[in-house]
Amino acid sequence: MKMGDTMLNLYVLDAVSSKKVPAEIDPASKEDFAATHDWQTNWESTYARQLPNKVALHREDNYELLGLMSYELDERGLAVEVLYMESARHSNANLLHATGEAKRYIGIAKAMFAYAVRISKEAGFDGVLIFKAKTSELLEYYMREFGARQVGAYDPFRLVLWEDAAAANHGSHMHKNEVTPQMASFFYSHFRGRRDVYSVRSRPKDGKTGCFPVCDPICPPCGQFGAL
């Protein structure tokens, strides 16, 4: 699949053999929606019909439906928001758990996230994604396996996925702890604060180590770390 000037090599893993199965994403069709009657969500429902930008993940060779996703561009948040994502019944852990069946494929969510990351990059959002976990189990899974971070305490299920944590190479699980320019941009797009004041760890004349406020530029009255 070619997006922009770069090939996006999507794949899932066969759950039995662990072999890579090439996949592709296209705009979802009526046939895709009609195949979801035994899914967790019926994509022919009124709710699903109202979702924007619906895409479908298929196997390349036989076009077997693997999953569906809806997303939108969040110009204010400088991110792509994944509104809804679902694996096909044959690989949906929630549905298979009740029947004791095993997954047919692994990595469907990773493939769809990789596609969303590319959309975010092409929109100028540096690969940043926002999405919401549907359950506590999925919340822990996304944070553990994808390096997703909670956006804020007001909605603990709302997560942000930075490019380096999401899919630099199609779903890499690595994430970094340092604050990146993308993180700072995202923060300042949601919260307002003083950029001329920040905190540093230091040891002043009294010998006690701690964090102290700093003004930028240096406060004229004190000539050093700012007294606010």
DSSP codes of every residue in the chain:
-EETTEE--EEEEETTT--EEEEEEEE--HHHHHTTTTSSS-TTSHHHHT-SSEEEEEETTT--EEEEEEEEEETTTTEEEEEEEEE-GGG-HHHHHHHTPPPSEE-HHHHHHHHHHHHHHHTTSTT-EEEE-SSHHHHHHHHHHH--EE--TT-TTEEEE-HHHH-TTSS------SPPHHHHHHHHHH----TTEEEEEE--TT---EEEEEESSPPTTTSSS---
The arithmetic mean of pLDDT across residues 128-149, rounded, is: 88
Look at residue 105 in the predicted model and tell me its pLDDT.
Answer: 98
The arithmetic mean of pLDDT across residues 85-106, rounded, is: 93
Rounded Cα distance, 30 and 185, in Å: 38
Q: Residue 80: which of 108, 116, 51 has the closest Cα?
A: 116
Higher pLDDT, 142 or 178: 142
Residue 1 has pLDDT above 70, yes or no: no
Kindly list the domain boundaries of the chain, sorted by start residue: 2-190, 195-228
Look at residue 8 in the predicted model and tell me its pLDDT.
Answer: 79
Single-letter residue type at 133 = A
Chain mean pLDDT for the chain: 80
Select, from the ranges 24-28, 134-138, 210-214, the one with the highest average predicted confidence (pLDDT): 24-28
Question: Can you say how many angstroms the Cα of residue 198 is from the centroid of all Cα atoms in its chain?
Answer: 29
CATH numeric code, 2-190: 3.40.630.30
Least confident interval from 47-56, 102-111, 159-168: 159-168
Question: Can you say how many angstroms the Cα of residue 68 is from the centroid of all Cα atoms in its chain?
Answer: 15
Which conformational region is residue 226 in: left (phi greater than 0), alpha (psi within -120 to 50 degrees), or beta?
beta
Phi and psi at residue 36, in whole multiples of 5°? -105, 15
Residue 226 has pLDDT above 70, yes or no: no
171-217 pLDDT, tens digit per residue, is: 443 334 455 666 666 666 666 566 566 666 555 666 565 566 666 55
Higher pLDDT, 123 or 171: 123
Rounded Cα distance, 223 and 142, in Å: 47
pTM of the model: 0.71
Q: Residue 120: which of 173, 81, 69, 83 has the closest Cα?
A: 81
Higher pLDDT, 97 or 197: 97
pLDDT band at 82 (very low <50, low <70, confident <90, very high): very high
Residue 166 has pLDDT above 90, yes or no: no
Look at residue 127 in the predicted model and tell me its pLDDT.
Answer: 86
Look at residue 167 in the predicted model and tell me its pLDDT.
Answer: 46
